Amino acid sequence: MGKLQKDKRDIYYRKAKELGYRARSAFKLLQIDEKLNILQDVTRAVDLCAAPGGWTQVLVDRMNDDEVTRGLNSSLTPTSSSSRVIAVDLMGIAPLKGAQMIQGDITRQSTTDEIIQSLDGHKADIVVCDGAPDVIGIHDVDEFIQNELLLSALNLACNLLKPGGHFVAKIFRGKNVGIMFAHLKQFFNDVVCAKPKACRNSSIESFVTCRDFKTIQPNISAHILSSQLKPCCVPFIACGSGLDSDQSYPLNMQVIDEKDRKASSHNLISTTTSINSTNSQITPLSSLSNTQLQASGSQNKSTLKNIIKISTNTELSTYASLDPLAAPIKPPFQKALDLKRTNKLPT
């Protein structure tokens, strides 16, 4: 798929580049926070499986409301051990101002020790994990591997969170999801399953949002499928409003008020109003042309107003697709790319 087609088909991919986020997944955390307010008063956070850093950007922004930084300068160096945001991933992450990057395996004790040292003796207010395995399309296998990754993140979170802290992690909803919910309810007083609007409707991914961490010692070494816990249900919550990730939007729809780069996805389009010389009426987005759309978000600190403009056909002809903000650092496929460039890749 060409870049223009991907920009047209995936509005969140396009808006992430325009608003300065490294990944479209940033909108997922923004929408969860919009609904559940999990980032309020957070002073220390740990982002597991953080590459390329979209969720880390959201965490840094929420804790630095007076100064929005995207860390686009590649010359930036990681901050000291006093950093309030710790980002961890098995792959390298480009430096981001306001966060400390740790490259390591979250299943290893050495990585846990390094995170604890970076927190400088403090406990984290929230631990988030947007990690997922390379899916193979067999849902039972994908769900099992994802649950194992989630348990590893939970084990780490239990060692890092302060009493009353929060934990957010990706989960694949399948036939064994009730057992995972039962595991999580052992450690948190409030557990819900959230589906941000930035997720596609066809995707089985959701996010378990766990609040009010209990002061108990973690004991989750037992395999999820051999657990004696009985499956349980938790509330399912839809998060976010406005843009639909399954809908294609015209390329000439642009944010023209970009000075506030903290804007979350839900206020990009909340109302679709056609301004007529005599009166105003609600019309479908697809029928609009050469008009201005105004989207009004809530007035709290996490959501501000944005104005969306449908450009003229002349302006559309000048549309240029933006490149992603953070290219992968030493990705697994780098060797194959190097061989291909030198015509040495086996066929």
Higher pLDDT, 286 or 335: 335
In order of 215, 271, 274, 275, 312, the CA distances from 278 in angstroms are 62, 19, 11, 8, 22
Percent over 90 (pLDDT), the chain: 35
Of 205, 198, 199, which Cα lies nearest the Cα of 143?
205
- Whether residue 34 is predicted with pLDDT greater than 70 in this model: the reply is yes
Cα dihedral sign, 74-80-85-91: positive
Token reading at 182: 């039962």
CA–CA–CA angle 304, 306, 308 (5° rounding):
165
Token reading at 36: 């559940």
Calpha distance 285→272 (Å, rounded): 7
- pLDDT at position 338, please? 83
Mean pLDDT of the chain: 74
Under 8 Å between Cβ of 162 and 124: yes
Higher pLDDT, 266 or 62: 62
Higher pLDDT, 302 or 129: 129
Average of pLDDT values for 10-16?
86
- pLDDT at position 135, please? 82
Q: Can you state the angle between helices 139-160 and 109-118, rounded to 10 degrees?
A: 40
Calpha distance 311→291 (Å, rounded): 8
Q: Quick: pLDDT tens for 231-240.
A: 889 999 999 8
Residue 330 backbone class (left: φ over 0; alpha: ψ -120 to 50; beta: rest)? left
* Statement: 12-239 belongs to CATH 1.20.59.10: no
CA–CA–CA angle 41, 44, 47 (5° rounding):
115
Higher pLDDT, 267 or 133: 133
H or E element, residue 116: helix 109-118
Q: Could you please report the per-residue DSSP string of 313-340?
A: HHHHTT--PPPPSS--BS-TTHHHHHHH
Token reading at 142: 């994908």
Instruction: Decide the pairing of beta strands 253-255 and 85-89.
Output: unpaired
Q: Quick: pLDDT tens for 97-126.
A: 899 999 999 989 899 999 999 998 899 999
Average of pLDDT values for 197-206?
89
CB neighbour list of residue 315: distance below 8 Å, 6 or more residues apart: 252
CA–CA–CA angle 255, 257, 260 (5° rounding):
110
Neighbours of 27 (CB within 10 A): 30
Higher pLDDT, 25 or 310: 25
- pLDDT at position 70, please? 38
> pLDDT grade, residue 322 (50/70/90)?
confident
Average of pLDDT values for 339-344?
85
- pLDDT at position 56, please? 95
Catalytic residue among 8, 17, 28, 170: 170
- Whether residue 309 is predicted with pLDDT greater than 70 in this model: the reply is no
Of 3, 5, 33, which Cα lies nearest the Cα of 198?
33
User: What ranges do the domains of the chain cover?
Assistant: 12-239
> pLDDT grade, residue 220 (50/70/90)?
very low
Higher pLDDT, 288 or 188: 188
Neighbours of 231 (CB within 10 A): 13
Task: Let me know if 330 is a catalytic residue.
Answer: no
Q: Quick: pLDDT tens for 75-91.
A: 344 443 344 899 999 98
- Whether residue 258 is predicted with pLDDT greater than 50 in this model: the reply is no
The residues that bridge with 87 in the sheet, in sequence order, are: 47, 101
Q: Quick: pLDDT tens for 37-81.
A: 999 889 999 999 999 999 999 999 988 763 343 343 333 444 433
Token reading at 195: 């589906």
Three-class secondary structure of residue 242 per DSSP: coil
> pLDDT grade, residue 252 (50/70/90)?
low
Of 68, 63, 56, 66, which Cα lies nearest the Cα of 22?
56
Q: Is the peptide bond before 231 cis (omega within 30 degrees of 0)?
A: no
CB neighbour list of residue 87: distance below 8 Å, 6 or more residues apart: 47, 50, 53, 56, 93, 96, 99, 100, 101, 102
Calpha distance 16→278 (Å, rounded): 36
- pLDDT at position 248, please? 80
